[in-house]
Structure 1
Amino acid sequence: MSGTRTTTWRTANGLVAGAAAIAMVTAGCSGGAGSSASAPSGSAVSSGGAGATSTAVASSGTPAALAKFYDQKLAWSDCGAVKCTKLTVPVSYAKPGGATIQIAVDKVPAKGHSKGALVVNPGGPGGSGYDYAAAADQIVTPQIRSSYDVVGFDPRGVGRSSPITCMSDAALDAYLGSDPTPDTKAEEQTALKNAKAFADDCKAKAGPLLANVSTLDVAKDLDILRAALGSTKLNYLGKSYGTLIGSTYAGLFPKRVGHFVLDGVVPPDITTEEMNEGQAEGFEEATKSYVKNCVAQSNCPLGTTESAGMARIRSFLKQVDAKPLPVSGQGDVRKLTEGWASMGIAEAMYSKQEWPTLTQAFDQAFGGDGTGLMVLADAYAERTAEGTYTGNIMQVINAVSCLDRPAPSGLTTYEKDSTTFAKVAPTWGAMLAWGSLVCGVWPIKPTGTPHKIAAAGSGPILVVGTTRDPATPYKWSVQLAKELKNGHLLTYVGDGHTAYGQSACIDDAVDAYLLAGTLPPKGKTC
């Protein structure tokens, strides 16, 4: 967002994780000089023009059945401002001799002498790594642009890589705008009906790929990409859900981990309920930080104290739940419901730069016009003013999440969690508690379970956490850094989602690691 947040992780009507801001914002920090600790870097990658190829580098231990995938050579073409190619991978790793799909890959060559490829992923599930890499000048510093070929890919089921689309744009509008906090048994049944309809549509339209878009599948694709790029080890920058791809990769292929930065962690070992509750707490704290900033100004429409401001937001959401607001230019086609309003508020929590816009939107909404909040919500959902969605993140996100970990199947659990979560997160708890209902009725059983990843034998992995991150709470970064055998925590004290690109101090520490393997000192805080 604007910057531009390229992705948002969301299941049903609940926010589950988010992605990185593209805009580069710098701020001061405190901390000492870095300490030296080497980590392996990937081998060089060709940055040639159209028709240039990358030589595959497989690794010992590669299954014979996958050799044809690991041995493929990438033929790069000119695609506007980037080089682009396709990577062939099996639909099912259990049946590598069966159907295949192609993964869209792009590259922005280094401006100077290339150290090799830095593969990037902005999050999701469902974020376009292809688009993220194309914005290389904004997502990494000039130093990294000079030294690395920035490579992105659309994970399987996403964007240009056999995208999973379950609903029409109009049907998705209705789904996203539906009630995220059912208050009565009748509303609960409606929520269940909506979730079932979404799941059934995906089963009918997505085909066999629907059972093969888990994070584990993506991590295996990533190793084939590493080999095809000609890299003996993978250099990787993952943000938000991209950290789950990264940690999963490190667990599978620890010896192939090069320079790894995981910013804004989604832990591999938490349950669906733990994720929802953690996110509820994260968004609650982020919203409090926004309100505190707002009420300190003379023109804040939320009141004069933090508690009054939070109460005003909650009462407003109840009001639009009962009576949605009109939206300029939408007629009766779409109104600002509680679902859309919550999405608009959440959008502004990802970046402090959007706080003034949210304040204006609240002022407008309190006057009876939901346009400002709807504009924010559309940015969150990657929806245009014309009513089309620029990506398929709001659909594929469920397909990935529901495979990755089990979710409760009975309404009783969601009812209980909505009450429990609301005690610690009165504004966001109920919505997040109901957020995984669609996974409770998903047509395919989950293939993953929560588990710790130590990645024993890997090189150093730099884990970055932001103290008031709404979507990936800071404690999750602390958790993963401790569980990794070679994890190293870097802390940003601040607001917004993810830290690299938000602080000069963080940028310097991350760059020192990516460029020279120099890790920040233990306990480094910016």
Structure 2
Amino acid sequence: MLYYKLLYISVLLTSKVVSAAPSRHGHPQIQWGPCDPSVVNDTSLSCGFLDVPLDYHNPSVGNAHLAIVKANATGERRGSVLFNPGGPGDSGVSDLGILKELLLQLTGGVYDIISWDPRGVGTLTIPGEIFCFESLEEYTTFFNGTIELTGIEETGNFTDPADVDALLAEAPTMQKKYEELGKKCLNSPNGRYLEYIGTAAAVRDMISIANAIDGPDAPINYFGTSYGSLLGSWFVNMFPERVGRVIINGVPNPVTFATQKPSIYFAHQLVSADTIYKAMLTGCALAGPSACPAASEDDGPLDIDAKFQALLKAAHDAARAGSSVPLTSGQIRVALAGQMYAPAGWARFMNETYPQLVQIVNGESQGNSNDSLTRRSEGIARRSQPLKRTASNGSPSYSIHAITCGDAIDLHGVTMEEQFKGIIDTARNISHMFGASWPAPDYLCGFWPVRSVERYQGPFSKKLANKIIVASNVYDPVTPLAGAEAIASQLGEDAVLVRQNGFGHTTLATVSTCMNDLLAVYMVNGTLPANNTLCEVDKDFALFSGVNTEDILAHLPSADV
């Protein structure tokens, strides 16, 4: 799930038409209208709304109001494909505008693509985005002087006793803060809706949308990425008889998510993250100084890693010395984690952002900070923050928490000290580079005030009406291949696993004609590939000048970084 996704696009949609008239099959019908051209650039998209029960088991509670968007099929229409982009908390309305052409290609152009802002997302769906603070200033004042703003200071793989003691000493303060945060969220404008936000409700809403568009007897076609693939895993098991052509791509392990502590689940999501970090450094080393200035002549990936470790240590030591640092090692670590999602941005990061990081940290340590450095450090610090911000008041969204923690198992008696010990263990044993990235919403679920009124905990091995495709990169930083393998194993002959031999979050992170064609043929004709098919990334998809995925895979060091 995209906890370190650095680009979030707020949705401002002003379609005034709401669903009212019943369709021929007796379900509410969505009345499609134009989207506001000042905020939705693609005028071919249509927008509408659908009212659904807040609690499907207790309709007397009232209704939710879903904002929905549609991209029309480019060929002869065969029905609809519902799409969720992930998060949790990403806007389907916004992301469809960005991904329309790709999604139409991957589905053969014969379906309308339907997406929506799930509960807790955006400003038009009700309940909408969860904001627990009235301003950015209130948020920063509330967390002033804590790791919520600075990140966790540590070097190496979190074995320095001083770093361990410093983090554990923060536990009582942070537990109190997070308990107070939970109360603030419960008392926020959308706090009364928190128990009606979660994945089970999103699945039932998806069924309602499909019923309104294609009818209650039609198979439901679905494409979900990242958290959207978790939503898909729940869908195919909650409503196996409604499964049409379904692709889930970049897959969290649904069994672990539904049955284990969120902190344990999240820690195991990082098993490939350090390998992808090594891949980025390998690409830089292969490109050499002319295409990646971070590489000196004859540098290998371990030499470039040593430079990153020195950078982190310099920021860490300055903070430990009590200096007023423009960037902490924790903020640098989180900014770096975001790069693991999208290899297409590696060259730019290494050529532009990395030199800025070095200049900012060295400039501060030498007492030479200037306005330009300050502005750049503030920008990088903002981009390192994994929480979304809204244009209205600048305060962070807590929709990720509302969905993730609403779905979580009950965590009576968990302490922040216990959670911090889990962070230390993750940094030592799972991901040296990113195990201590903070803030991390999953670790706060023990202090979240409510759980969803409905949570699905399995089984995840239902017999499906149609076979589905489970897709994954071999190296994914937050939904590792093991998650896809787990759900494919659970579903047995009803799921076909396909792999892409590359890096990044979901197979959409890079370009593979093999994978894209395979998905399109399935959506158009229902033709399934052989189980465990391995697709290569296209050779002309360069990650650095003259360096592609195949080159990096051939030179990837096996030693730990």
CA distance 1:431–1:383, change in 2 (3 Å): closer
The match for 2:489 is: 482
2:330/2:438 contact within 8 Å kept: no
Map 1:247-286 to 2 at 5 A: 247-270=233-256, 271=260, 272-286=262-276
CA distance 1:488–1:426, change in 2 (3 Å): same
The match for 1:493 is: 501
The match for 1:427 is: 433
The match for 1:215 is: 199
**d(CA) in 2 for partners of 1:472 and 1:515?**
27
- Kindly report structure 1 stretches of 4+ aligned residues shifted beyond 6 Å: 19-22, 50-55, 389-393
The match for 1:228 is: 212
Alpha-carbon distance, 1:381 to partner: 5.5
**d(CA) in 2 for partners of 1:127 and 1:222?**
15
- SS of the counterpart of 1:73? coil
Unaligned runs of 5+ in 1: 1-7, 23-49, 59-69, 325-331
The match for 1:402 is: 405
The match for 1:509 is: 518
Pair member with larger Rg: 2
- Is structure 2 residue 300 aligned with structure 1 residue 305? yes
Residue of structure 2 aligned with 1:349, choices 340, 357, 362:
340
2:174/2:416 contact within 8 Å kept: no
Map 1:152-167 to 2 at 5 A: 152-159=115-122, 160-161=124-125, 162-167=128-133
**How far does the alpha carbon of each residue in 1:372-392 deviate from its partner, in whole angstroms, 9 at most, with x for none?**
6765665575899x9948999
**d(CA) in 2 for partners of 1:381 and 1:484?**
37
**d(CA) in 1 for partners of 2:226 and 2:170?**
32
**d(CA) in 2 for partners of 1:430 and 1:89?**
40
1:358/1:373 contact within 8 Å kept: no
The match for 1:363 is: 355
**d(CA) in 2 for partners of 1:225 and 1:387?**
27
**d(CA) in 2 for partners of 1:103 and 1:277?**
33
**d(CA) in 1 for partners of 2:425 and 2:348?**
32
2:473/2:500 contact within 8 Å kept: yes
**d(CA) in 2 for partners of 1:20 and 1:233?**
33
Residue of structure 2 aligned with 1:196, choices 160, 175, 179:
179
What value does the CA root-mean-square deviation take over the aligned residues? 3.5
Range 368-377 or range 435-444, more displaced: 368-377
**How far does the alpha carbon of each residue in 1:191-234 deviate from its partner, in whole angstroms, 9 at most, with x for none?**
33443343222111032211111111111111111101124111
The match for 2:100 is: 137
Range 464-473 or range 85-94, more displaced: 85-94
CA distance 1:475–1:54, change in 2 (3 Å): farther
- The alignment's TM-score, normalised by the length of structure 1, stands at 0.79
CA distance 1:143–1:482, change in 2 (3 Å): closer
CA distance 1:497–1:371, change in 2 (3 Å): farther
- Is structure 2 residue 316 aligned with structure 1 residue 295? no
Range 106-115 or range 401-410, more displaced: 401-410
1:321/1:338 contact within 8 Å kept: yes
**How far does the alpha carbon of each residue in 1:228-255 deviate from its partner, in whole angstroms, 9 at most, with x for none?**
1124111111000000111111111111
Alpha-carbon distance, 1:323 to partner: 4.3
The match for 1:128 is: 91
1:19/1:498 contact within 8 Å kept: no
- SS of the counterpart of 2:222? strand
Range 449-458 or range 261-270, more displaced: 449-458
Give the aligned residue type for 1:473: P
1:259/1:517 contact within 8 Å kept: yes
- SS of the counterpart of 2:437? helix
CA distance 1:433–1:199, change in 2 (3 Å): closer
**How far does the alpha carbon of each residue in 1:304-347 deviate from its partner, in whole angstroms, 9 at most, with x for none?**
333343354344335435547xxxxxxx9x94334432332122
Alpha-carbon distance, 1:438 to partner: 1.7
- SS of the counterpart of 1:284? helix
Unaligned runs of 5+ in 2: 10-16, 38-42, 154-162, 361-372, 536-561
- Aligned residues with identical type, % of pairs: 23
The match for 2:549 is: none
- SS of the counterpart of 1:431? coil
2:343/2:504 contact within 8 Å kept: yes
Alpha-carbon distance, 1:260 to partner: 0.3
Alpha-carbon distance, 1:287 to partner: 1.1
- SS of the counterpart of 2:268? helix
The match for 2:2 is: 9
Give the aligned residue type for 1:487: A
**d(CA) in 1 for partners of 2:303 and 2:390?**
35
Alpha-carbon distance, 1:498 to partner: 0.7
**d(CA) in 2 for partners of 1:414 and 1:150?**
41
Residue of structure 2 aligned with 1:151, choices 107, 114, 120:
114
